[in-house]
Structure 1
Amino acid sequence: MGIDVAFTHFPTLTTERLQLQEIQPSDIEALFSTFSDEEVMRYYGKLPHQSIAETQTWFQQLQERYTRREAIRWGIALKGEESIIGTCSFHHFGPSYHYTETGYDLNRAYWGRGIMTEAMSAVLSYGFHELAFHRIEAIIDIANEGSKNLLLKLGFTYEGVLRQRFYFNGQFEDEHYFSLLKDEWRG
């Protein structure tokens, strides 16, 4: 199909337990609950949100990035529930949309239930099969064991480190790169 389909109508993805859907203004309070949590934001590379207004600004930027075809970010909800419990995305598209970067976050109340494995499996399948990506990348803080384990479980390969590449909160931090190729995806 190609990338155009994702920017014509926002893609909704469904799994056994989850619905991945377009984030709405009504989701801002639920998103604030996630993005204001210091534990969730520990390895995010941004400080926790301090107010609903900050989350509203983030939401507006999210909508603008989608309109400019720069990112697709799904809200994750349990089937039959309306509240968003996390997000996952494609962003930083490469030339001709052959590759992209992915990212994800989950409200701490839902950690350890396999939710992100299920959500990311749907996102990766959509990216490889519907959007025709050849490569999907992830950049993490290597101290984030949960994220590292998720990527390895999904079949990503650790490619290496770019030392002190990211400046955050007054210090330089390493970026650790993982990737998954279309022919490696087992989903």
Structure 2
Amino acid sequence: MKNQYNQPIGEPICDWTTRKKPTKRKMEGRYCYLECLTPEKHVEDLYAVYGPESAVENWTYLPLEKFEDQATFAAYLESASQSKDPLHYAIIDKTTEKALGTLALMRINQEQGTMEVGFVIYSDQLKKTRIATEAQYLAASYAMDELGYRRYEWKCDALNEPSKKAALRLGFVFEGVFRQALVYKGRNRDTAWFSIIDSEWPEVKRKLESWLDPENFTEDGKQKKSLRMF
């Protein structure tokens, strides 16, 4: 498309309005639900995820270090629960009603319709499970379907191979690397950027829902088809 000066320009967006901010609402799925952090409710469960028993290697690419005492963690959780951006959620296993990890909706730009999922911190029990995938599905669906955002982002250290693989598996598109984007933990971070845009979301959503369908799993919980097969 070109303007009157024969210059290429972007496609027009008709009737665009500022999007609403995400709220502390519950997001419920088949295997889990997301609810905003409540220190008195989640401190015990999440201390097992964030505390001294967590593996040291889990924290290499995170902006935090694991917490060595529960009082310090409780203070962090209280602060995080009051934040509006990032807006932190606990991931709750519907079978056990235990919090197994957290994620956050962040860098929320209502005017442009963009937001990022971050602070993805999982217990070892949660990693590579249906609940982990469904938690990401619920957050993305809330952003794209309910709130009508145009762009949903995932960012990570460019050296964090597990995070990059997770983003691609979930349907995010790799966009490139911002070199020397951050200094954290006394070292450089090149940041890998991924996104899902609104035109891509319906197909990404279909694949995630197909993979999460109970018919895709054996009685002992093993997948019949991988997500990439849908």
Q: TM-score, normalised by structure 1?
A: 0.87
Structure 2 partner of 1:40:
58
Could you tell me how far 1:75 is from its partner in structure 2? 0.7
Q: Computing the radius of gyration over CA atoms, which structure comes out larger, 1 or 2?
A: 2
CA distance in structure 2 between the partners assigned to 1:111 and 1:141 by the alignment: 19
Match of 1:149 in 2: 165
Residue 190 of structure 2 aligns to a residue whose secondary structure is strand
User: How far 1:84 moved relative to its partner?
Assistant: 0.6
How far off its partner does 1:95 sit? 4.8
Amino acid in the other structure paired with 1:184: E
Q: Which amino acid aligns with 1:117?
A: T
Q: Which has the higher contact order (CA 8 A, sep 6+)?
A: 1
1:2 Cα deviation after fit: 4.4
Q: Take 1:109 and 1:144, find their aligned partners in 2: how far apart are those partners? A: 20
Maintained 8 Å contact 2:177/2:193: yes
Q: Quick one: distance in 2 between partners of 1:101 and 1:124?
A: 9
Equivalent residue for 2:135?
Answer: 119
Where does residue 14 of structure 1 map in the other structure?
28
Q: How many residues align?
A: 181
Q: Secondary structure at the residue paired with 1:143?
A: coil
Query: Which residue is 2:20 aligned to?
Result: 3
1:1-187 aligned at under 5 Å gives the runs: 2-4=19-21, 6-7=22-23, 10-25=24-39, 26-36=41-51, 37=54, 38-66=56-84, 70-96=85-111, 98-103=113-118, 104-185=120-201, 186-187=204-205
How far apart, CA to CA, are the structure 2 residues paired with 1:125 and 1:95?
16
More helix by share: 1
Relative distance call for 1:143 and 1:114 in structure 2 (3 A) is farther
**Is the CA contact (8 Å cut-off) linking 1:98 and 1:132 kept in structure 2?**
yes
Alpha-carbon distance between aligned partners in 1 of 2:19 and 2:179, rounded to the nearest angstrom: 34
**Contact 1:142-1:176 at 8 Å conserved across structures:** yes
Identical residues among aligned pairs (%): 24
5+ residue gaps in structure 1?
Answer: none
CA distance in 2, matches of 1:21, 1:126: 13
Q: Distance in 2 between matches of 1:137 and 1:110?
A: 22
Q: Which structure shows the bigger proportion of residues in strand conformation?
A: 1
1:97: Cα distance to partner?
A: 5.6
Letter of the 2:129 counterpart: R
- Distance change (3 Å), C-alpha of 1:90 and 1:18: same
TM-score by length of 2: 0.72
1:82 CA displacement: 2.5
